Structure 1
Amino acid sequence: MAGIYIHVPFCYTRCSYCDFYKTTDQQFKDEYIKALCKEIELNRSFLLNEDIQTIYFGGGTPSTIKVEEITVIIKAIKKHSSLKHLQEFTLEINPDDVSDEYIGGLVDLGVDRLSMGIQSFYDVHLRKMNRRHNAKQAKEAIRIAKENGITNLSIDLIYGLPYMTFEEWERNVQMAIESGVQHISAYHLTFEKGTLYYDYLKKGKLQEVPEESSVKQFDYLVKELSCAGFEHYEISNFSLPGLESKHNSNYWTGQKYLGLGPSAHAFDGKNRSWNVRDVRKYITALEGNETYFEKEELKEIDRYNELIMLGLRTKYGFNMSLLDGFNTTICTFFNKELKRQISSNNVMLEDGFCKVADNRKMITDRIISDFFFVDED
């Protein structure tokens, strides 16, 4: 299964925590669309030779571009691929961009899944994060999306906020469940370099939440969503049965995907490539027939580490049969680390898969790091 990721870099405002590539300068939209269509043309061999089954518009804020502009992009893709086997078409959307007209246009275009950046149902939290919407708009956006035919709706929540009480987190989770959405992505706040929150952390204006508080919030999330019928299929993602994100699941199982737009990444099974992280440079390069991306062939160590990172994040775990393709040194290292992790009750073996234990999910990143092979040469 191959997928297409399209990065829309435009945002009206900058959220305090976000480190994804974005720009608040809207003047390049027309040039961006033209450059994107040219990049699609340059990747026609991928589109012709792969069975495209998922499309994902991410950002930035994809809902800053009009339905007519999205239509132009899809038409450019259809020139080289029928999309007859398309199984999922996702677009990330901000709550205050939601309207009956906009959602109706997206549905007519074929969008069948929305990922909505709610983050919190408390206005005080949203203001501190510099989100554009308020809690009332968030609830209204969910209602409008559902009434206009979106039956696979995902919302994002953030926990580990320094100014959020446990009681507020409890209420956020309950309101998410009560909203009737089919998918919930919950991410712990991270202080990424280059963000406003990172600067606040360094200046002492914000402090990281104690680990025990984060664990308590995470455990509550997992318990309540499980009781509500959600499956915890990836460390940060929960869905009702059968409604996992097909596109993101492809990433976690190492499938091919084409990345389009500034900062987008792509993977063809052996090579990783990434586009320039600047919309103006991206446009200029494509207009001038210049190179707009970098590319590298993954080394054996990189392939092993990536399979570990992706596999252990999911409910399925790491398929140990994949070790058959690696050298003896890497396999010996893995088996030694596996014994150590099992003795610490961090992982378990099940039907040929190495899985993180349910009560260790919160430290998944730490466990993954322990499994990473580092070439000391």
Structure 2
Amino acid sequence: MNKRIFLSPPHMGALEQQFVWDAFNSNYIAPVGPQVDAFEKEFSEYTGIRHCVALSSGTAAMHLALKELGVGPGDEVIGSTLTFVGSISPAVFLGADLVLVDCDRVSWNMDPDLLARELEQAKERGQLPKAVVPTDLYGQCADYDRIFAVCERFGVPVVVDAAEAMGARYGRRPGLHAGKGAKAAVFSFNGNKIMTTSGGGMLASDDKALIDRARFLSQQAREPVPHYEHTEIGFNYRMSNVLAGIGRGQLAVLDDRVQRRREIFEYYRQALEDVSGIEFMPEADYGTSNRWLTVILITPELFSADREAVRLALEAENIESRPVWKPMHLQPVFQNTHPCRVVGGEVSEDLFTRGLCLPSGTAMTTQDLDRVIHTILGAGFSS
């Protein structure tokens, strides 16, 4: 059997090991410690977002952000329907109702026109949302200028789900880092992300008070007194010192990782772009994607095989691939247990039906890439 080619495995280097050893050598193993402090400082310097707090996951970061914006039972939160569930489930934790907005075909991110229409109607109903949560899908920033402008017009804060977008930029090169300019931004360092701490996340904002409160709540809302004193309920959301050491090493080589992901995308593109029935996720002209995953669309009438047939052909060769995110409005939990309202939906449904994420790990070799390409082409020729 050929070696397994994973979708997006971690890529470790020498620095991570050194920082983790420093954590062990100092005996700071539990949450908080000098590695956490340094990671937060370096993260802020890299992204240009002034304040941040390192947490146990991106979902935890979103939970704290929405809680600090006052989201609660009876409120509405607008999110992207084409996203991972952790982007919007924290709104449900807090008792809010979800409104899910479709994406556009330019960026595959939240459609600013649909968002504007929904906010206009919400104002007429007298129930503006407590927050708008656009996702930076597969490492490409949403159209911040348009989304921020429409939300500012209605006085609604934006929390960017930048979980997949470390190293991505918005605006003229080099541009602003993903999440910059929002009320808050959420990042993930899960094991499959472009930079990882194995598990972890970051909440970042230029609002110091918001981050100070999030930090307080992430440490069980313990009051600053010698004994354990609590006047409100908090959470056990802080990142460990060991994992922060991994994050520091990953952050130091992030630019190289982004460059390699973009090279991998380009290799796939040159090999497959002229194949009938295969298209690539576009890069919007307003920014620079990190190309976390290379994503293709397969039109079966032209390619002679559908997305699932190609996925199964890859799996038969021990190659991992994955369909594009199933839109949240199609998820049983948001149709039954926590019913939501969707604005549009046709674009994201089409992308889910035809979209396939290809292996994009930065340690892939040319031979690995050729094996993936050969298998994809074979799936079409054999149908």
Higher relative contact order (CA 8 A, sep 6+): 2
TM-score (norm: length of structure 2): 0.29
TM-score (norm: length of structure 1): 0.29
